[in-house]
Structure 1
Amino acid sequence: MSDLTPWGARLCLRTEAFIRELGPQGLEGGTLVLAVSGGLDSTAMAVIAKLLAPRLGVRLRAAHLDHLLRPESGGDALFCRSLCGELGIPLDDASRDVKALAADWKTGIEDAGRRARYAWLEEIRHNAGACAVSCAHHLDDLAADQLMRLIRGAGWPALGGMPAWDPRRHVLRPLLLTPKADLRRLLAESGLSWREDASNADHDFTRNRVRLNILPLMARENPDYLGSAAELWRQARMDENHWNEEVLKATPQAGGPGWSFLDDAILRASSQALRLRLYKRAVEALGPGQPLSAALHGLDEAWRNRATGKRFQFPGGKEAHVERGGIRFQPGPEPGVDTSGSGG
């Protein structure tokens, strides 16, 4: 780190403090997998991780997945091999035909790429015995994520954006409160290059439209919009921790299969704010798929009106049934099962 400018050294030390405060327990002595694409963000993350590894006591491994969506993507893989070779970080790389996966899964290219990437990264993490996968999401990404959650109708505190540490997916985001401009400056001061992904300018993708069109408008209205996004994130994390404690107090017996049914006694003893969070936790316990605020409010209204038999569907094929005595949460029916009578 002595080769960095004082500004670059301070950036690395802030990242170290962020990881120590919000990262996973047991990181020291373990392995950290770096998700590298060859772009500016992950290149800067790899450099910072290499500098911090001795201080954090971690071993590093890198992973690069080629989505086979662009003619130049093979060059990205070559760049990652060169970068990791220079940094002395072992690299695993592979490819997935994301376009074909999107057709098979009947989903969009963006969603298919994300699902394939995280599944493969988890495979690498598991095989390496690593404690976490480190992704290069930064403060600009966080601000865009908050706007996308607002557009989709997410509730609080989910509106605060993606977590720094996601224990369910073993994903760490050490740069989450670092502006992209700082990462660009670090690479410029270090004399390092990166790969530009032309698809980042493709307006067919929702994330790109938010990042390229909406986020600059917000920044024009408030030049410190990124600072406001960081403060919103901090407030959301505090509130999330508070409500997690309240949820555990309300349902000490819940957890795993215990989340399949919330009985009337628990729900009557809970405020509406707490009930909504109990529903959210129960839906999330069934697997991936983020429940949206409107559906949770609709479920609560149905329970309050004693609408026995009312059924609500949530992303990921999950369902909630208002029954006599409470609400039952369960995975949705297998494909092909008739759900025409469902509500919500």
Structure 2
Amino acid sequence: MKDEFLKNLEDYNLENSRILLAISGGKDSMTMLDLFNCFKDELKLDLVACHFNHSLREDADRDEKFVKSQCEKYGLKFYSKKEDVLLYSNENKLSTEEGARFLRYKFFDEIKRAENIEYIATAHNKNDLAETVIMRILRGTGINGLVGIQSERGDLIRPILNFSRDEIEKYIEYNNIPFVEDETNFEDLYLRNKIRLNLFPILKNEYNPKILDALSRLSNIAFDYSSISREYIASKEGLLWEFNKGKILVYIEKLKLQSRSFRNIMYREFFEFFSKNPDGINYKIIEEIDNLIFSKTGKYIEIKNVIFKIEYDKLLIYDKNIFENLESNFYFENLDFSLYSTKFFDIIIEQSCFEEFKKLKHNKNLLFINKKYLDFIKIRKRKNGDFLEFDFGKKKLKDIFIDEKISKDIRENIPIFEIKNNIVWVPNIRRSNRYLVEGNEDIIKIKVLSKEILWRD
């Protein structure tokens, strides 16, 4: 087992790496901890350990203390965190398993950033992989769900995934490694436990004694198909879709020309990109998303905080948690040569000259005015009924936003410049003919810089 584990580490190319070990205290993670310790000097590994206390069992604190003491024996830097998973899951309308996973990996990422970690190692084994595949089949998963648990995904590695639970138990016994037992593993309260305790013995004893290997092969085959799908979708970037400042934008008219099968696969891939959940979207929802592309602008579907939304000629896909609460309050007057900041924009006022004005006066990102008007400028959010006045007449600001295809997500956050109750400038969009430069002296320049927020969709 040690030789195979070493080969796994060499396949990951981990030499001289800094690795975070996620240790629960059970047989799997204690085996992984001991195996890493065997080769940390040979591969020059810098190991950090952590334990996440889910507060779901009476002996959860006992497990945390046990893991801390064992990591100290191995001489490893140790982190732990305690969270009320049940409360978090209920507040966010998640299953206990989903809530636990989110908080656990959030904790891992926090340590990764603080400690400059390169890889995070978890102790999933071959039985975990098989149980996950069965569980997702029962829930009606797609091809990606059949992949189950990957040995390596980004910065996440699972170096004992190819070991069965029987092999791990033999290693524990032979090497006399201490561990703590989670008594809930023997209670059929959760779907995974029911599969482990009730379904798997039947499949193994009555249908296929090598069911673990069979499901592992299925997982590998599904991974090949999934990889090809992702590569093909990636080849369409720039032609059919683009990733822009936290959102995926798909060109609807081009999307309609694709086959229904391709569209369905693409929706699932993009959903999983944001949700990291390979079995959270069923075929009925896929159909609803596809019907969405034939709808009018503004319509949207939300699936587990992932938004699919029609904005004019594009389908937007993004994580709701990133873009919620975009609105920010701001109001500025009595301006001077300085920097003024809102949540999403920086406003810079500085001295200019007539030559610069002549060169850049048509730039929508800049407003040139005579200094005498500076005392009258107010910067505010938009209001109902706002309009700009042009030589040909007035136009509502709302209609201008629609014409320019400005995302509804940020219309409330664009700074509006007014002088004496007249809007003179909407940065990067339109400028009225009022209050421009009347002479070639005392000219100032105002520019607005976006803090990487999507302007147009």
Moved more, 215-224 or 73-82: 73-82
Q: Which structure 2 segments of 5+ residues have no match?
A: 326-457
TM-score when normalising by structure 2: 0.62
**Aligned residue for 2:81?**
94
Task: Encode CA deviations 1:71-130: one digit per residue, 9 max, x unaligned.
Answer: 323332232133223323222223223333334434343333222222112212221111
- Shift of residue 322, structure 1, vs aligned partner: 5.6
- Shift of residue 17, structure 1, vs aligned partner: 2.8
TM-score when normalising by structure 1: 0.81
Instruction: Provide the rounded CA distance (Å) in 2 between the counterparts of 1:175 and 1:53.
Output: 16
**Aligned residue for 2:213?**
227
Kept in 2: contact 1:31–1:60 (CA 8 A): yes
Percent pairwise identity: 22
Structure-to-structure mapping, 1:1-344, within 5 angstroms: 11-21=1-11, 23=12, 27-167=14-154, 170-220=155-205, 221-252=207-238, 254-257=242-245, 260-264=248-252, 266-268=254-256, 270-290=258-278, 291-295=280-284, 297-299=286-288, 302=291, 306=294, 311-315=300-304, 317-321=305-309, 325=313, 327-332=315-320
- Shift of residue 264, structure 1, vs aligned partner: 3.9
Where relative contact order (Cα < 8 A, 6+ residues apart) is larger, the structure is 1
What secondary structure does 1:158 align onto?
A: helix
Judging by fraction of residues, say which structure has more helix: 1
Distance of aligned partners of 1:29 and 1:225 in 2 relative to their CA distance in 1, 3 Å threshold: same
- Shift of residue 177, structure 1, vs aligned partner: 2.0
Distance of aligned partners of 1:198 and 1:73 in 2 relative to their CA distance in 1, 3 Å threshold: same
Q: Give the CA RMSD over aligned residues.
A: 2.8
Instruction: Provide the rounded CA distance (Å) in 2 between the counterparts of 1:165 and 1:265.
Output: 37
Kept in 2: contact 1:276–1:296 (CA 8 A): no
Instruction: Provide the rounded CA distance (Å) in 1 between the counterparts of 2:20 and 2:308.
Output: 37
- Shift of residue 54, structure 1, vs aligned partner: 3.1
**Aligned residue for 1:338?**
none
Distance of aligned partners of 1:199 and 1:325 in 2 relative to their CA distance in 1, 3 Å threshold: same
Instruction: Provide the rounded CA distance (Å) in 2 between the counterparts of 1:46 and 1:228.
Output: 28
Kept in 1: contact 2:289–2:301 (CA 8 A): no
Kept in 2: contact 1:33–1:60 (CA 8 A): yes
Instruction: Provide the rounded CA distance (Å) in 1 between the counterparts of 2:96 and 2:289.
Output: 34
Instruction: Provide the rounded CA distance (Å) in 2 between the counterparts of 1:209 and 1:44.
Output: 24
What secondary structure does 2:94 align onto?
A: coil
Q: Which structure 1 segments of 5+ residues have no match?
A: 1-10, 336-344
Instruction: Provide the rounded CA distance (Å) in 1 between the counterparts of 2:76 and 2:50.
Output: 10
Instruction: Provide the rounded CA distance (Å) in 1 between the counterparts of 2:213 and 2:277.
Output: 29
Q: Which amino acid aligns with 1:18?
A: N
What secondary structure does 2:177 align onto?
A: coil
Judging by fraction of residues, say which structure has more strand: 2
Task: Encode CA deviations 1:21-45: one digit per residue, 9 max, x unaligned.
Answer: 4x4x7x4322111111110010001
What secondary structure does 1:262 align onto?
A: strand
**Aligned residue for 2:405?**
none
> Larger Cα Rg: Structure 1 or Structure 2?
2
Instruction: Provide the rounded CA distance (Å) in 2 between the counterparts of 1:152 and 1:186.
Output: 34
Kept in 2: contact 1:256–1:285 (CA 8 A): no
The alignment of Structure 1 onto Structure 2 pairs a total of residues equal to: 318
- Shift of residue 204, structure 1, vs aligned partner: 2.3
